[in-house]
Amino acid sequence: MTKIQVPLWLTSTAVVVALATGGVVGYAITSPQQSSDPNINKIVSTYEAINDGYYQKPDAKKLVNGAINGMVSSLDDPYSNLLQTDDKTSLDTTISASFGGIGAVLKNDQSKLLIDSVTADGAAKKAGLKPNDELVAINGKSTTGWSTSEAVAKIRGKVGTTVSVTIKRAGVNQTFKVKRQKITTETVAGTMDTKDKALGIIQISSFSEPTTDQLKATIKQLRKAGAKRFILDLRGNPGGLMPQALSIASMFLKNGQKIMTVEPRNGDSVTYRAGKDYDDGFKVTEPTAVLIDGQSASAAEITAAALNENRNILLIGEKSFGKGTVQNVNSLNETSELKLTVAKWLTPKGQWINHKGLMPTDKVPYPAAAKITMVTKASLKLGDTGTDVRSLQQMLAALKFNPGAVNGDYNETTASAVKAFQATNQLPTTGSADAQTLQILTTKLANQLHQDDPMINKARTVLSKESN
């Protein structure tokens, strides 16, 4: 999702605001103010007919939201939506890459919710919470049977508000009042390659408000560590804010080079070019390769296309998602907002990639093990069948523990493979895949995939040749 300022040609916004703020709510006898647009009069007349004549008193809020949802759904556009309450909060959190929290990480250990760690200067530590405290209640409600995600959802809230957290420590329950603080999410992660000491690997998970600053800081750190070339990993990046894509692309380009063109339905097209206004003079001239896959979308595609078409920076991986449209987010009131597609964007060479995606310069598919579906059940045992068992068998096979036929049947051969895995990892050799076994199995597979990443291997080889 990209976000730009509300343009003057977005006339439909005024209509939505008028409906959402109750300008016609409760109107009964007198005729409404007539609009010059007969379609608007039709909407108002329909609202009044239902509000005044329906045999039961309708919910005005539902009527208005139904009208808005009906208009938006008629566009047949998956990126235009009316967002309310939780959906609005989720989008706002994604855009800002921040939320109201207490600065603590939770984990699930044998059906117990434990505090795994607390931030050094976070609210949780200041309040007195410690690692390994068992979380037993939030705002007086027992957390028995809760997942970590359910607990996190209850702990988070508006910055400055207070949450009551009850923990068990040394067998004694204690309750702490913790004031929520602003927690900023890291959208950029940088590491030095273990095989090439001059290669910095940068992963951008989304294009949110702090992403540009986080990327600059990451590049500076990697340069200090000896990085002379970079891999920019945009795999799995769903996009985000257009201004962040412009700033980041500009860092890698010469001033004046075209980043993208935005074409609204009405009004003139706007071409954006690299320059100090976007990157503040911070430039990245080192050899770079970009990784993309089928989940690289929107702002990630803007950046990848700009780097590829201007600097011939290689795109390595799989075809990108193909989202070539721009959305505005318009606030309707405190609990709802309208996300609306308002334009399409083109690459520097004028390509519209919508539903087509960017083709990688070097096509490198994911290994089969990377496409294994995660196990959803808490545990599996002898005699179980189904897709979760099949996933278990695939993971065991990928880690060289022979489960027999990968057929979704938890038989004696699969149980023997689980026992072998458990013995290798100092776990009780029960042959049943309990929660701890599944967690370690998943971690081991992820580590193996990370260490032998074919896309990074390809990028490493290409950049090494460019530098020699």
430 CB-contact burial (10 Å; exposed 0-12 / middle 13-18 / buried 19+): middle
pTM: 0.79
Query: What span, in angstroms and rounded, lies between the C-alpha atoms of 342 and 10?
Result: 8
Token pair in block for residue 202: 């940068």
298 is catalytic: yes
Mean pLDDT of the chain: 88
Closest listed residue to residue 415, CA positions, set 400, 399, 404: 404
**Of the given ranges (27-31, 113-117, 185-189, 325-329), which has the lowest mean pLDDT?**
27-31
How does pLDDT run across 208-234, given as a tens digit for each residue? 999 999 999 999 999 999 999 999 999
Confidence of residue 5 (pLDDT cuts 50, 70, 90): very low
pLDDT of residue 35: 60
323 is catalytic: yes
Buried b (16+ CB within 10 A) or exposed e, 337-371: bbbbbbbbbbbbeeeebeeebbebbeebebeebee
> DSSP letters along 207-228, please?
B-TTHHHHHHHHHHHHHHTT--
**Of the given ranges (86-95, 119-128, 332-341, 425-434), which has the lowest mean pLDDT?**
86-95
Beta bridge partners of 339: 81, 329
Inter-residue contact 417 to 396 (CB < 8 Å): yes
Query: What span, in angstroms and rounded, lies between the C-alpha atoms of 249 and 247?
Result: 6
Query: What span, in angstroms and rounded, lies between the C-alpha atoms of 399 and 422?
Result: 12
How does pLDDT run across 412-439, given as a tens digit for each residue? 999 999 999 999 999 999 999 999 999 9
How does pLDDT run across 171-215, given as a tens digit for each residue? 999 999 999 998 888 999 999 999 999 999 999 999 999 999 999
pLDDT of residue 10: 27
What is Dmax (Cα atoms) for the chain? 82
309 is catalytic: yes
For range 394-410, the mean pLDDT: 96
CA dihedral 143, 149, 154, 157 (to 10 degrees): 160
pLDDT of residue 184: 85
Query: Which position among 209, 286, 301, 309 bears the catalytic label?
Result: 309
How does pLDDT run across 230-270, given as a tens digit for each residue? 999 999 999 999 999 999 999 999 999 999 999 998 889 99
Confidence of residue 93 (pLDDT cuts 50, 70, 90): confident
Query: Which position among 247, 298, 320, 336 bears the catalytic label?
Result: 298
Query: Which position among 3, 88, 216, 323 bears the catalytic label?
Result: 323
